[in-house]
Structure 1
Amino acid sequence: MDTQSREANLDWIPDSGFRLRKAGVQFDAVRVTGDDGHRLVDLMDHMTGGEPGPVVVDVSGRRCAYFLLPPGSTTRRSWPRGALCYNSANGYESYVPVPALRGRTWPLLWRFPPVMADRFVHPVLLRSAVITLLG
């Protein structure tokens, strides 16, 4: 664990490489794949003045973008087609890849790393952006 993640109490971020973390514990996530995911990252960047909250991108294969939201925040909302929620609702388990803050993490990287333990992507803002982008 590096000093930045220790200071922010982000013990769910691995020291090196990347690890799968159970959604619904430290965070929920919304995944959007392909160019839509990367356009959504850019839209959220613009809408928040460069501080959308933690976002992980996969730069190979399906080119996914994972938006990390507060735990439990995706379970009571309907999300548009193209946005896949990761949470632990109703006995459902899902896992999200989380890269280290530094070092070799390919094909995953932080497009926007976490800066505080309780700072996540805002669910309503993200849902609005998804609707705007994906319809």
Structure 2
Amino acid sequence: MTMTNAIHRPDWIPASGHQLRVTGIHFDAVRIEGARGERVAGRLIESADGGDAGPIVCEATGYRWMYFLLAPGEVRRHDWPLGVQQFGGRSTLSLTYIGIPALDGNTWPLRWFSEPTPDAPYVDAESLLAAAVSTG
């Protein structure tokens, strides 16, 4: 029996508040701004089995970036459309840190739009690419 929306806290998710994590180690990340990012995230959740789209973090302030967390090494395997920023991969010369919120408690200004689950520990890159292209 498969459990969806089960509590799943990988070791890179802090127990409280939020912490910065380096991309390319525990995950790669794709970043999409504001309303477009929300549309992409909504499509991923709608199309995901049981609504488990994988880890998506959003910012509550500023540009309201949406961060889609992919398996390490996955971001460089795809050609992302304009407006989609990529973080991670071995060919990156600089380090990029992404803020990761705890699963509960005060994590402002970050929050989970979609949490990682045992069935979706990462966002599926192919599904994300399709959603990003269709919202262009």
**TM norm. shorter chain > 0.5:** yes
> What amino acid is the match of 1:94?
T
Per-residue CA deviations over 1:8-63 (Å, capped at 9, x if unaligned) read 5x111111111110001111111101111111111111111411111111111111
Judging changes above 3 Å, is the alpha-carbon distance between structure 1 residues 94 and 100 closer, same or farther for their aligned structure 2 residues? Answer: same
User: Are 1:60 and 2:22 an aligned pair?
Assistant: no
Q: How many pairs were matched up?
A: 128
Residue equivalent to 2:32: 32
Contact 2:54 2:120 in 1 (8 A): no
Q: How does 1:90-129 map to 2 (within 5 A)?
A: 90=91, 91-116=93-118, 119-129=121-131
Residue equivalent to 2:42: 42
Contact 1:88 1:94 in 2 (8 A): no
TM-score (norm 1): 0.87
Q: List gaps (5 residues or longer) in structure 2.
A: 1-6
> What amino acid is the match of 1:23?
T
Q: How does 1:11-22 map to 2 (within 5 A)?
A: 11-22=11-22
TM-score (norm 2): 0.87
Contact 2:74 2:89 in 1 (8 A): no
Residue equivalent to 1:89: 90
Secondary structure, counterpart of 1:62 in structure 2: coil
Contact 2:53 2:120 in 1 (8 A): no
The separation in 1 between residues aligned to 2:37 and 2:13, in whole angstroms, is: 22
Residue equivalent to 1:78: 79
Q: Please identify runs of 4+ aligned residues in structure 1 that moved more than 6 A.
A: none
Q: List gaps (5 residues or longer) in structure 1.
A: none
Contact 1:28 1:74 in 2 (8 A): yes
Aligned-pair identity (%): 37
The separation in 1 between residues aligned to 2:132 and 2:116, in whole angstroms, is: 21
> What amino acid is the match of 1:59?
A
> What amino acid is the match of 1:14?
P
| Displacement of 1:118 | 6.9
Structure 1 range deviating more: 24-33 or 44-53:
44-53
